Amino acid sequence: MDSTIERVRRNVMAATAVLTLAWSSPTWAASYYVASGGTGDGSAANPWGSIQTAVATSSPVQAGDTIVVKAGTYSLASAINFQKSGAVGNPITLLAEAGVILGATASTVDSGSLQLTNVHDWVIDGFRLNEAPRYGIALAGCTNITLQNLYVYHAQASGIIVEVSNWGTDDIYPVPQNWNIKILDSTIDSANWNQGDNEAISLWATDGFEIGGNLVEHCRHEGIDVKTGARNGSVHHNTIIDDYDLWPGTGMGVYVDAWHYETYNIDIYQNVIHDSEEGFEVQCEDCNKAGTTGSVHDIRYFNNLVYHNTDIQSSGWKGRAMSFFSSDGSHPVHDIHVFNNTFVGNQRLGIHVDNPDIKNLFIRNNIIVSNGGADIQVDRAGSVTVENNILSKAVSNGIGSALTASGNTVADPLFINATTNDYHLQSGSPAIDKAAGTDVATVDFDGRARPAGAASDIGAFEYGAVAIDGGATGTGGVVGTGGRLGPGGTSGSGGTSGSGATAGTNGGPGSGGATPEATAAGGSGGAAPGDAGSDAGSKSSGCSCNTGTRRGSYCLLSLVMALSLAARRKRALG
């Protein structure tokens, strides 16, 4: 009899543990629905009629829940303001089904058509947003926000902007004001169409960020701008095409600008910029403002491809692959590493250095050829090192002994086919096995392991390399699909089915880092954790309860009560 009671007691304890796990499991998350014309309670059968209802303070949506927006066109008479937050590791997801179009119609909107201010832990996924009268999506003072798989078309100003909510006094405000922001796998098309302010993707004052896998095309200001105190992030696997500025002379594909705040520790890699006004630019605008100590430092550019950029607006100085420029006052820039890039056929210059305050600029192991003027021109600088590059003409030196230039080779790099923009290397290229020093990437533009031979190759492409996990091989100089994460940064696996009626656990975060580079100070981490297992595992002891649902938990509660009653009866019989 005692053994029977003990067996029942153990069963009760086990069932109670499972019930506790189910009660706290992320699988408790609910789904709510929005449909055009809906008037209901947010259920699948009776959806809400507006996204604003779903994200309002009064809605029942909680951390971990998903708001599914059904296919259809939604006219936004005013901005959608997000009024609640998820929780760390348990965000709220706003998910668009295929065919969702948000059309902004209100010319009075003076913010983002989707506006997130001082909220945290959201994932916004899958929307098309047309004709925003100012910004498409705007974040200010936010933490743990992921924007992904979006298409923002014809925004009057920025397609996506991450700015500040506390503007301080006289344009001096605390930084950072945003943390852990991701902008992934989205398209920004025709932003800044009417001389709207800021850039197609504009990220300010953010600590921890990833801008990856995006297409920026036909925009009329800078493409991607990382600025005003941004730090500890990456800009990678983006493609920028046909980008130029309606203000002549200010269009850049990817711009890093401190303004008057310290901006640092950023990896910029595996991007393509072509047929635009300029590739990369680094500046410290307004860094001489009284009471500020702005600077740009510890930025790494590698495995990028920049070609055929021209001075579209005839400013007299655009059409460069990369520039470091200052106009007046102090513009401190230091510890910048430019390596394993391929810059080809830009109208004016390859790399142009014209900032007397720049120090410790290292340009190594790049292919920079066939540009209209000098491949590397240094006019003003504090200290610049140019080593082991393949060029089509000698370095232009305007600073004398402040420039260290050695080991550079003037030669034809022997591309596969420059006419079709295939900048992979032919057999016999002088770039093969010739990379040297510490500034050498561990993978190439295509995500293939370096070195493939006795040493790594100069430029963005490694001859004879084999594709590895995390980066597909691109063809014809185009970014390969599926290669956003980089080696070692594999996505988190999904939850596994738990055995013994336990719920599936979350997949762990991707191992390794998003930065496939030898000298970077640590990667930014792998992909987000995988989804929780959708079901309980095998049914134990004859119980058919699914602990991944509310119904399953009620089933377990009944089981616990029944077992408790059975134990009391056994005691009474004894």
In sequence order, the 6+-apart residues with CB closer than 8 A to the CB of 496 are: 504, 505, 533
pLDDT for 110: 64
Provide the pLDDT for residue 304: 98
Mean pLDDT estimate for the chain: 81
Q: What is the pLDDT of residues 276-289, one digit of tens each?
A: 999 999 998 878 78
The tally of domains found in the chain comes to 1
| Single-letter amino acid code for the residue at 160 | I
Range of the structural domain that residue 517 is part of: 2-23+492-573
The reported pLDDT for the residue numbered 498 is 32
In a domain, 520, yes or no: yes
In a domain, 529, yes or no: yes
Nearest to 539 by CA among 549, 547, 551, 550: 547
Q: Which among 167-171, 518-522, 534-538 has the top mean pLDDT?
A: 167-171
Of 522, 527, 460, nearest to 491 by C-alpha is: 527
**Residue 332 lies inside a defined structural domain of this protein:** no
Contacts of 396 by beta carbon, 8 Å cutoff, 6+ apart: 374, 376, 377, 378
**Is the predicted pLDDT of residue 472 greater than 80, yes or no?**
no
Tokens 């130029």 sit at which residue?
A: 244
Q: Does some domain include residue 310?
A: no
pLDDT of residue 4: 52
pLDDT per residue as tens digits for the range 77-89: 889 999 999 999 9
Amino acid, res. 190: S
Report the distance separating Cα 471 and Cα 488, nearest Å. 10
The pLDDT, as a whole number, for residue 109 is 58
How is residue 286 annotated by DSSP? Answer: T
Residue 484 lies in a domain: no
* In contact, 59 and 86? CB cutoff 8 Å: no
Question: What was the pLDDT predicted at 249?
Answer: 57
pLDDT, position 379: 94
The widest CA-to-CA distance across the chain, in whole angstroms, is 101
Q: Which residue has the tokens 């105190």?
A: 229
The letter for the amino acid at 384 is: V
Residue 569 lies in a domain: yes
Tell me, yes or no, whether 496 lies in a domain: yes
Segment of 169-173, 372-376, 500-504, 514-518 carrying the highest mean pLDDT:
372-376
Written as one string, the DSSP assignment of 480-497 is PTT-SS-TT-PPPPPPPP
DSSP code string of 60-102: ---TT-EEEEPSEEEEESS-EEE----BTTB-EEEEEPTTEEE
pLDDT for the residue numbered 28: 76
pLDDT of residue 286: 78
SS3 state of residue 567: helix
The answer to whether residue 86 sits within a structural domain is no
Spatial neighbors of 512 by CB under 8 A, at least 6 apart, are: 486, 487, 488, 489, 490, 523, 526
pLDDT of 437 strictly over 70: yes
Where would I find the beta strands (DSSP E) of 381-515? Answer: 384-387, 390-391, 396-397, 403-406, 409-410, 415-417, 422-425
For residue 194, the model assigns a pLDDT of: 74
pLDDT of residue 427: 97
Q: Coil, strand, or helix at residue 244?
A: coil
Amino acid at site 238: N
Asked if pLDDT for residue 517 goes beyond 80, the answer is no
Give CA torsion, residues 157, 162, 168, 171, to 10 deg: -50
Mean pLDDT of 518-541: 33
- CA 41/CA 43 separation, integer angstroms: 6
